[in-house]
Amino acid sequence: MWNHITNLTRLASVLTVAFFLAIVISDGPPNPLTFTLQQKLFALTLVALYAGLAWACFRPRLGGSLTLISWLILAMLTKRLPLDTPFLLPALLSLLHLIAARKSTLPFMRQPVWLHALAAGLILLGANETFGSPPAFAGASNAPAALTGVWTSAIATFEIDSNANLSGRIDGVPITSFHLQPNRTWFGRLIHWRTDYRIRGTLADGQSFQLLLDRDANQLRGTLERSGLGRYLNVEFERR
């Protein structure tokens, strides 16, 4: 049994580290020159947290210990237990590495072929969801029947036809150009990553905008970003 737990823990560790790297790369690494001393310590500890998890796949005692120590340092830096998923999951996996290292008879990183294939497939799916714009196989460019119609909210109104043509206004300013596209695949929906649709365009006053929307029956929910605002607004559209 512990051999199977070791295999699953290694697979989960590889995927967790891969998704962490994908998110950091896609968002762009922050500039450490702008960090305060505490922020630099936090960033260094966060890197050690995931580096230890990756190392635990090869040396479970050393790597697992590094991740658990990093998790405790994060608790001291934030003055609370870091129970959020990005912090707690590596700690739990490292604890499993340490326990399995005492009970498992598997050599380090000796994995069956199917496990490598599964890990590679999941990493590719995650990379497609992270870097694709839109992700490959996200769906047809034409709007589905459930998306066509007139949608209204407190700050915007627009209409989408069956050919994905869009017209409307945001804060009373007409939309002059647009691009409507699906924004995630089945895998993105499964892990609640990204949104169902993305609408990007330009208003008559020259400002650019972006709508990130999820469809729920006769509602569209998401966020609106305008170049002149510098922040996101939560929006909720009803079909009229």
- Residue 58 has a pLDDT of 82
- Residue 95 has a pLDDT of 92
- Residue 142 has a pLDDT of 60
- Residue 162 has a pLDDT of 80
- Residue 31 has a pLDDT of 57
**Neighbour-count burial of 206, counting CB atoms closer than 10 A to its CB (0-12 exposed, 13-18 middle, 19+ buried):** exposed
- Residue 111 has a pLDDT of 56
Show the low-confidence residues of the chain (pLDDT under 70): 1-3, 25-35, 104-112, 115-116, 119, 140-143, 230
Is the distance from CB of 100 to CB of 2 less than 8 angstroms?
yes
Rounded Cα distance between 114 and 120, Å, is 10
Is the distance from CB of 187 to CB of 131 less than 8 angstroms?
no
- Residue 108 has a pLDDT of 56
- Residue 67 has a pLDDT of 94
Alpha helices in 80-185 (DSSP H): 85-103, 113-131
The model's pTM is 0.57
Q: Is the dihedral of CA 187, 191, 193, 196 positive or negative?
A: positive
Q: How do residues 166-176 score in pLDDT, each as one tens digit?
A: 889 998 899 99
- Residue 195 has a pLDDT of 85
Q: Is the dihedral of CA 85, 91, 92, 93 positive or negative?
A: positive
Give the chain's domains with CATH numbers. 2-131 (no CATH), 145-239 (2.40.128)
